[in-house]
Each structure stands twice: as structure tokens, then as C-alpha cells.
Structure 1
């Protein structure tokens, strides 16, 4: 019962890189806030043909404003129980550094199953107007071309929030997040309308902020480098994002089953810049 991918889209983590001089941050980048968040994971539903009877776990996510980029880390643990009572525990430790101009990312992912390493992915990528290139160091040394229009995870979050504020309901782009050894994936993001600030007694830092719900579907690209958007998605994630980049609700759909993630703890981190 391995997880095929860790949580994507807006969840990126710790690394090191530097923005090139003269490259401006994406408009809206200043609104993204450093924070540390803890989520409880629980089974939302299992498909009729699924063997999954129970799913529970935790996810810890931290993003730090490193002035020229975002350094974040996501640690993910999920215990699955099948209908015969057998348990499988999967963990992942996912880290990246993405520069604020949205042009470079360094990434590292280690995933384990039952305590044994099942996957390692690491390397760096540079995005250009023509697409760009990924240089992998793990699981093997190789390079992959990125399709034209590729964007990186934090930039995807920023643009999705900007789209929500203007009433745009769909965003279709190739996304590279460093969780696949095969380069970029196609994504289709469906965006609900913008919600104005609402009372939030549990998490007061979010009470003064607007938010938007969105659902991101990921499609593997075929061997010819073409998008797979006409087929069923490989993976989907639904989130409610506040305008500072904090997500308090999420749903991860792995196909055979889906898991809800609920924010339990939130600490806002100071901006050192």
C-alpha cells in the first residue's frame, strides 16, 4: 500500500540557493508568510475496490522566509490498515529551496515504507521562458527538459491566490515540484470564489485574511512529453489557502482512498529580511 507521491502544490521544504542579481520577486510574493503548521491526517473515504480500512497520521510543515527565497520542510507520516488488519507505515521527508523570482529550486525527498527507504529524489532545476531543465543527482544522475510554461510550487500558490482574487476559476500549467524523477507534471487547478476575512478564534492570525478553496489535479506526462490532462488525474489535492499562504484544510486523493488534513497547530515565524 505505498503512497505514490507525497503532498504537493504548495508544500515545499528546506535547502539552500541564491537568487541571481537583478531578478525581481513575483508580484504577491511579499504576502507569503513564514510559518510552522501541524496537521492531523484521517481517512476521508475509501473506494469500493480499495483494500484500505483505516488511515491516520500527521504532517508537519515549515516555511521560512530566507529573503531571496523560501526554505521549507515537510515531514509526512501515514499509517494504513487494510481490511485484514495489516498495517503499513509510510513516511516522507521533503525539502526544497525556491527562489522568489520563481526560476530556481533545489529539492530533496526521502520516502520510507515500514522503516526501509523506498525512494530518494534529489537535484535542482532552473526554469526559463523556453521551459528549463532539471538536473537529478538521485535516484540517478540525469537531466530532464521542462516544458514551456513550467512553474514552481510557491509560484503556483501565489498565482492561484491572485487568480482567486480576480475571479479566475481555472489555471492550467505544467508544475515541477521535485517529487517525481520524471520531470514536470501537468496540473489543472479549479478555484472557488474569494472569501473575505472571517472570525477565527482557534487561529487568530488568520482572522483578518481572505481565503480561497481550490483543487489541484496532477497528470503524468506521456513518453512523448505531452500532457496527460485528458486522462484521469494521477493525484489530487484540495486546500483552503489564506492569502498569506497558510492552508488550514486539505484533502489528499490518492485514487484508491482519500485523506483529510486538519490544521491543529500554527505558529507564525518572524520575517528576518
Structure 2
């Protein structure tokens, strides 16, 4: 999952992970996993992310001020194993009601193609408000041990440098799961997910416990997996504010699937409940690691 909050342009950055989907804080927060360790997590043989499709119902949890008095929505997230890459599609639909009674329908359509070695990402984000286009972000990016670069084609063609150690969404998920399984209390990798045209984000990830199966999940394919709670905060590199732009909590399973979402948009928070879930197919031959 991915994310920042604020106006609707930022709401599309709500999950990469998660989904969910990238810290100036790295210098002052403890429990950090250094970039070399994070880079190694990309190819970790013990991290087996699963192709799947998940649908979530979003309900209003709390109102903390501002103009929004009601919110509801849905989110679908699909991961497809494309042999040498992961293809992801996420659609977030949110309806909010203001204090004056105005209703706004917000849609974020997000798609990526990420190489399994974690070094190349093609991305597209399209956001609309009441059917009117708000923003469109497209391009591709590369990253590696010494850094990388983003080449945007929309909204305006331009390039942005990526710092060394920056992770793309699926690699970010793998890094979280590996750190949780090793008992680390937190990590702080940089993330680029393709939801904004201003480059990478800082993330601070708190790992709140990792336990073996069975879990309380009602889906048998998940109940037999190790799982644990995770809290991810997202920060703008240029900001000196200790408050995150966006934060999300979730339960992660060892295959990268999430449930029990807590999404903080600043003025209000929403709870995400996993309504339906199915595992996807692997490439021909039956082995997703040999195509």
C-alpha cells in the first residue's frame, strides 16, 4: 500500500502495500534496517509473495475535525504473477459527505508492473472527483544499490533522481515481511510507488508482533500463515513536520496479503475489512520462480 493524505490528489497514495504501498526520520529513529539489508530482501528466497485478488469494504472509524462528517468506500487490489514481474492493480472508491451536506465521489485507479529483481517499475495513477479528472501520473523508474531515476511522461515530462536504497512497492512489502519475521522492531526504507510526481517518500514501519499460525482469519488460505500487525507512516522528504502525510495500519500475512486495515487520512480514519479473497494462478509450468 502507498500513501499521503490531505487533499484528494494525495488520497490516491493510500496503499501500496500497503497496498497496502516510502525517512528524513532515519537519522533520528532507532530500529532502522540499513539499505544494504533492505536491498537484499528483494531477492530473499524465503519471502514468497502470492498472486491474489482482495476486495475490502471501507467504513468510517473516527472523525478528528475538518469538513468531512461521513465517509464510506471500497477498495480492490489484485496482484498477478507475470513470470519475471509483478503486475498490480488497485482501485479505491471513496464517498465523503461535508458538513454542508455536499457529497463527493472520489476514485483512484492505480496500476504497476514491477520487475521481481526490484529494479524496474512502470506505473500509472489516474484520480477523478465526481467523474472529473483530478490528476494523472505515468512513467517508469529504475533503482539499484547506488540509486536510480524516475522518468515521468505525465502530468509533465520530467526526471527525478532516486536515492540509493529506494524500494518499489512489492520490494517494500517483502522488506516488511522479512524484517517482521526476523523480529526487528522497525525499519525505515524509502519508497517510490508511482502515485505522485514528486519522487520517493520516506516511510517508517513499526512491526508490532509476528506470530505463527493459526490466525483469526476466516479465509483458510490465510489462516495457516504467520502474520502480524504493521503500522506504516509516510513522509514528504522536503517536510520538516514530524507528523506523517498519511499512515496505515494492517495485519500482514507471510505471503504479502493484508487485512484489518486502519487508514488515517488526517481529518478522519477509516477501517478496511477484507470482504473477499482468492489466490491467483502461477505462470505455466507451475513454478512462479522458473518461467
Same fold (TM over 0.5): yes
Query: Is residue 4 of structure 1 aligned with residue 10 of structure 2?
Result: yes
Q: Secondary structure at the match of 2:173?
A: helix
Instruction: Please give the alpha-carbon distance, in whole angstroms, between the structure 1 residues aligned to 2:47 and 2:230.
Output: 21
Deviation at residue 144 of structure 1 after TM alignment: 0.2
User: CA 1:3/1:55 → structure 2, altered by over 3 Å: closer, same or farther?
Assistant: farther
Match of 1:238 among 249, 252, 255: 249
Q: Secondary structure at the match of 1:267?
A: strand
- 8 Å Cα contact 2:76-2:92 kept in structure 1: yes
- 8 Å Cα contact 1:212-1:242 kept in structure 2: yes
User: Where do residues 21-36 of structure 1 align in structure 2 (5 Å cutoff)?
Assistant: 26-28=43-45, 31-36=48-53
Match of 1:166 among 182, 197, 206: 182
Match of 2:54 among 14, 21, 37: 37
Instruction: Please give the alpha-carbon distance, in whole angstroms, between the structure 2 residues aligned to 1:259 and 1:229.
Output: 26
Superposition misfits of 4+ residues, deviation over 4 angstroms = none
What corresponds to 1:86 in structure 2?
A: 102
Q: Deviations over 1:92-137 (max 9, x none)?
A: 1100011111111000000000110100000000002222000000
What corresponds to 1:151 in structure 2?
A: 167
Instruction: Please give the alpha-carbon distance, in whole angstroms, between the structure 1 residues aligned to 2:137 and 2:257.
Output: 26
- 8 Å Cα contact 2:18-2:258 kept in structure 1: no
Gaps of 5+ in 1: 14-23, 223-227
- 8 Å Cα contact 1:12-1:177 kept in structure 2: no
Instruction: Please give the alpha-carbon distance, in whole angstroms, between the structure 1 residues aligned to 2:120 and 2:143.
Output: 6
Q: Deviations over 1:54-79 (max 9, x none)?
A: 11010011101111111010011000
Instruction: Please give the alpha-carbon distance, in whole angstroms, between the structure 2 residues aligned to 1:161 and 1:250.
Output: 16
Instruction: Please give the alpha-carbon distance, in whole angstroms, between the structure 2 residues aligned to 1:245 and 1:264.
Output: 17
Deviation at residue 3 of structure 1 after TM alignment: 5.3
Deviates more, 1:200-209 or 1:137-146: 200-209
Q: Secondary structure at the match of 1:177?
A: coil
What corresponds to 2:38 in structure 1?
A: none
User: CA 1:30/1:199 → structure 2, altered by over 3 Å: closer, same or farther?
Assistant: closer
Alignment RMSD: 2.0
Instruction: Please give the alpha-carbon distance, in whole angstroms, between the structure 1 residues aligned to 2:118 and 2:217.
Output: 34
Gaps of 5+ in 2: 1-6, 21-40
Q: Secondary structure at the match of 2:233?
A: strand
The two structures have a TM-score, normalised by structure 2, of 0.84
Deviation at residue 200 of structure 1 after TM alignment: 4.7
Deviation at residue 199 of structure 1 after TM alignment: 4.9
- 8 Å Cα contact 1:187-1:229 kept in structure 2: no
Match of 2:128 among 101, 104, 112: 112
Q: Secondary structure at the match of 2:180?
A: helix
Instruction: Please give the alpha-carbon distance, in whole angstroms, between the structure 2 residues aligned to 1:212 and 1:201.
Output: 12
What corresponds to 1:98 in structure 2?
A: 114
Deviation at residue 254 of structure 1 after TM alignment: 1.2
